[in-house]
Amino acid sequence: MQRPEILFQIEAHRSIDCDCACGTPYPASSTSPPPLSGMWQARQPALTQSIERGAWRAYYVPTATTPVTVMNAAAQRLWSALSEPRSVAELASLFDLPRTDVEAPLATMARVGLIRPWEAVEIAPPLEPQPTTLTAWLYLTQQCNLRCPYCYVPHRNASMDEATARAAIAKLTEMTKRHGYRRIKIKYAGGEPTLRFDLIRTIQSALTEQSRAAGLEAESVVLTNGTTWNEERLDFIAEHGIHMAISLDGGAEAHNRLRAFPNGRSSYEKVLWTIEKALERGIEITLSLTITAWNLDGVSDVVRLAMEKALPFNLNFVRERQPQPWVPEAEALAQALHSAFRVMEQHIATYPHPLTASFDRARFDFPHTHTCAAGRDYIAILPDGRIAPCHMETANPLSTIEATDPLAEVRRRSKATFAPAVDELPDCATCPWRYACGGGCPLLRGTEAHRRYCRIYRRFYPELIRLEGLRLLYRHRKSPFSID
């Protein structure tokens, strides 16, 4: 019998630096093989996709600890035999194999969640570990040097002062300890946050000092349009281990259609300069593309650049409650995505990053019951110190950094919008993709934009699984039972 091979990426993608309330990956499951005593049974997949002449297949198992895996034909036969409960000894006898030849692939299947003990109940929704990170979106300023027409931030002459910034870090440190998190994540945002680079320096120093004193980990990312950087600023970012999420909305023509300077001058070349100089310094970059009706012709250009430069990327669907003028028509969006997916496949053999977190807010690297962390493990702090549950809800702040426990207040007051799990949503409760999607953006639910995006998700998720399976196959060709 051919040697069974199971390919996977055990850890969740490194923290995706998207321009939203992205969920932070949970800790990786244990790498210790589970005991294989008793009877075992296969978990039911939501999807299987052939990825190479039928010999290898990609599997998406929604409740598995590692939902996307790839198996060769021999592993598929073992796994299929567990459609009914069997012990290791029974499987070995069924295939006329030594017990040791069955134990290794079964241990792998058990660890990534493809199979479960027969006595255990199939849990749905999946049990989610306690989140370990409290994330704060800091609105350093509402000023910006660009005028992107789809931007939801009001362009006001409002900036955070140093006293508010220091008070925000102190309160975040206190809340992180109070609520049992281990890590603080700061998103420097705006407007264009680098217009207050002085404040980034101040906050980063305070964050480092206070998190260390409290015994906490800290992480930070600048969400930037990429047009204001110079060598000295990039040196600071590299020295302090700060990540960058850089907005790029297409090739030169599509990008400048939305992100030119106010005088009409191209900003595209400056963004590319920033990317190159950041890469020279080893700075971790995520490319963030906002897909609108006005830049569909540029989607595949950003994907090509990301894959050629081996950069993580995220295809963000524009957030607008009314579908006009920015939300694309479904078929036009589908055509743009087909082109982008073809580019992915052309470069998949050498691309090092999982695709499991590249498609809007979906996460295929761990099962979850909420789309994002907004209103639960995430807050947005306005320049004046008021606090909203989401960066898109700045018109409805629910607390302030002066409150005793702002996070508890935000959770309580935003519960109706952000607390419901996907299994509680009537339109989502039986969807096979619900533990990857989480129900879509809570602020869009019930709108035409949400319905349009949902149809696109269902249409393209299978192809995303196939491409991720193909990526795993190329990546692990010579390393069966691969563990990162």
Cα–Cα distance, 175 to 376 (Å, whole number): 12
pLDDT band at 140 (very low <50, low <70, confident <90, very high): very high
Q: What is the pLDDT of residues 385-403, one digit of tens each?
A: 999 999 999 999 999 999 9
- Residues 145, 228 within the same domain: yes
Shared domain for 258 and 392, answered yes or no, is: yes
pLDDT at 174: 98
Residue 364 within any structural domain of the chain: no
Mean pLDDT of 19-23: 69
Amino acid occupying residue 54: G
User: Looking at the predicted structure, is the pLDDT value of residue 480 above 50?
Assistant: no
Q: Within this chain, do residues 110 and 143 fall inside the same structural domain, yes or no? A: no
Q: Domain count for the chain, please give it.
A: 2
Residues 361-383 pLDDT 10s: 999 988 999 999 999 999 999 99
pLDDT digits (tens, 9 = 90+) for 101-113: 999 999 999 999 9
Residues in the chain: 484
The confidence score (pLDDT) of residue 478 equals: 45
For the chain, the maximum distance between any two Cα atoms, rounded to a whole number of angstroms, is 75
Q: Which amino acid is at 170?
A: A
Write the pLDDT tens digit of every residue in 310-334.
Answer: 999 999 999 986 667 899 999 999 9
Regarding whether 269 and 161 lie in a shared domain, the answer is: yes
- Whether 408 has a pLDDT exceeding 60, the answer reads yes
pLDDT at position 127 over 90: no
Q: Highest mean pLDDT: which of 4-8, 117-121, 210-214?
A: 210-214
Q: What is the pLDDT of residues 247-264, one digit of tens each?
A: 999 999 999 999 999 999
Given 406, 425, 447, which residue is the final one in a domain? 406
Say how many C-beta atoms besides its own lie within 10 A of residue 387's C-beta: 23
Instruction: Inform me whether the pLDDT recorded for 32 exceeds 90.
Output: no
Same domain for 115 and 19:
yes
Q: Identify whether 55 is part of a domain.
A: yes
Backbone angles phi, psi at 152, to 5 degrees: -95, -5
Output the domain CATH number for residue 385: 3.20.20.70
Helices within 309-365 (DSSP H only)? 330-347
User: Is 40 within a domain?
Assistant: yes
In this prediction the pTM is 0.93
Asked if 28 and 159 sit in the same domain, the reply is: no
Residues 246 and 389 in one domain: yes
Question: Are residues 110 and 153 located together in one domain of the fold?
Answer: no
Q: 163-207 pLDDT, tens per residue?
A: 999 999 999 999 999 999 999 999 999 999 999 999 999 999 999
Residue located via tokens 């950087």 = 229
Spatial strand order in the sheet of 56-60: 6-7, 68-71, 56-60, 47-52
Where are any strands of DSSP class E within 142-277? 183-189, 217-224, 243-247
> Is the residue at 112 inside a domain?
yes
**pLDDT on residue 23:** 60
Q: Is the pLDDT of residue 76 over 70?
A: yes
Do 24 and 73 share a domain, yes or no?
Answer: yes
Range(s) of the domain holding residue 267: 133-283+376-406
Task: Tell me: do 117 and 146 sit in the same domain.
Answer: no
Same domain, 117 and 13: yes
51, 12, 28: which is closest to 364 by C-alpha? 12
Structural domain contains residue 438: no
List CB contacts of 110: < 8 A, sequence separation 6 or more.
33, 34, 36, 40, 116
Please give the average per-residue pLDDT across 431-450, as a whole number: 94
Residue 54 has pLDDT above 80, yes or no: no
